[in-house]
A = this chain, B = another copy of it.
């Protein structure tokens, strides 16, 4: 059987089952959450995450070197943000063609450094390798106080479902590039220069009021299914509440708009749940939009008065078009 025939979430679970895990220091292991979590014995937990990006599927030809460097750091920091941790540093392994111009590489490095600096962290090290296709594998480390760690599995029926920022900007940019539709700079920037929600994540977990959290880089729909499965709950979300920029609603309507907002992925916002009585505490530290509520079972979207099931589809690496 080929791996493209297997759902990516299932593939990761089957990989994880092959791994030996006998270490009591591992709080969260491979395949269980956005980050692995280690207890080194102090007051804080160490978080680790890695992400591989490459030219063909992650760096549209419009991207500058600076943007490639920025994005390569940002996607890794987003996983650290999704746990509410503060970043400790980044490693970056770079696969580069020998023909790469030094100026272009220097732009990549500056983009990496600017993104790390913006979030008070550093490029600690890396590797350079000759590769036919530009390939950037980042690893991010983070620290969080033990009692502040939020998992995917704490959502309870009745909790409010919230997101940071706007939805669908990156998705609209991807769809516009695919279709050759002109796109506003602000929307393109949302795709090419994603902003990891480090500060928001730290503020959110600091309230001790968030019951579950993750980022939505693979799309809102997949992330709701991930939290739903981990927490053994369902969701009802409302289309009319989605925070969507006018530049996006100008471009796409109806089903296409929903595709951009829910399924396409690329937004680096945080999705999180909060008990009803704590929502004002949380709102006081972080701008948010309540898009629905946690229910006992099933994942549904209400649009124009009708309720529909929300499919578990989104960004899957092994199924995207070549």
Measured CB to CB, the residues of A under 8 A from B are 1-4, 6, 8, 11-12, 14-15, 18-23, 25-26, 29-31, 35-36, 38, 40-42, 46, 48-54, 56-57, 88-89, 91-96, 98-103, 105-106, 109-110, 113, 116-117, 122-133, 135, 137, 139, 141, 143, 317-320, 322
Question: Is A128 a contact of B11 with CB atoms below 8 Å?
Answer: yes
A-B CB contact pairs (8 Å), 6 listed: A14-B106, A21-B122, A36-B125, A38-B124, A50-B125, A130-B318
Question: Is A48 a contact of B125 with CB atoms below 8 Å?
Answer: yes
Which of these, B30, B41, B102, contacts A2 with CB under 8 Å? B102
- The residues of B that contact A51 with a CB separation of less than 8 Å are 93, 127
- The residues of B that contact A94 with a CB separation of less than 8 Å are 52
Considering the chains assembled together, what is the distance between the CA atoms of A4 and B98 in angstroms?
A: 5
The answer to whether residues A132 and B133 also contact, given A15-B109, A19-B123 and a CB cut-off of 8 A, is yes
Considering the chains assembled together, what is the distance between the CA atoms of A42 and B98 in angstroms?
A: 42
Question: Is A91 a contact of B48 with CB atoms below 8 Å?
Answer: yes
Question: Is A96 a contact of B3 with CB atoms below 8 Å?
Answer: yes
- The residues of B that contact A317 with a CB separation of less than 8 Å are 128-130
- The residues of B that contact A35 with a CB separation of less than 8 Å are 125
Question: Is A48 a contact of B135 with CB atoms below 8 Å?
Answer: no
Considering the chains assembled together, what is the distance between the CA atoms of A14 and B110 in angstroms?
A: 12
Q: List the B residue with the shortest CB-CB distance to A5.
A: B102
The answer to whether residues A26 and B91 also contact, given A18-B113, A57-B130, A130-B320 and a CB cut-off of 8 A, is no
Considering the chains assembled together, what is the distance between the CA atoms of A319 and B130 in angstroms?
A: 9
Which of these, B4, B14, B20, B50, contacts A116 with CB under 8 Å? B20
Considering the chains assembled together, what is the distance between the CA atoms of A122 and B21 in angstroms?
A: 7
The answer to whether residues A18 and B52 also contact, given A38-B89, A98-B2 and a CB cut-off of 8 A, is no
Among A14, A30, A40, A132, the most chain B Cβ lie within 10 Å of the Cβ of A30
- The residues of B that contact A50 with a CB separation of less than 8 Å are 91-93, 125-127, 137, 139
Question: Is B137 a contact of A52 with CB atoms below 8 Å?
Answer: yes
Question: Is B98 a contact of A19 with CB atoms below 8 Å?
Answer: no
In the A-B complex, the 10 residue pairs with the smallest Cβ-Cβ separation, listed nearest first, are A4-B98, A137-B137, A36-B125, A36-B124, A52-B93, A139-B139, A52-B129, A50-B91, A130-B317, A30-B125
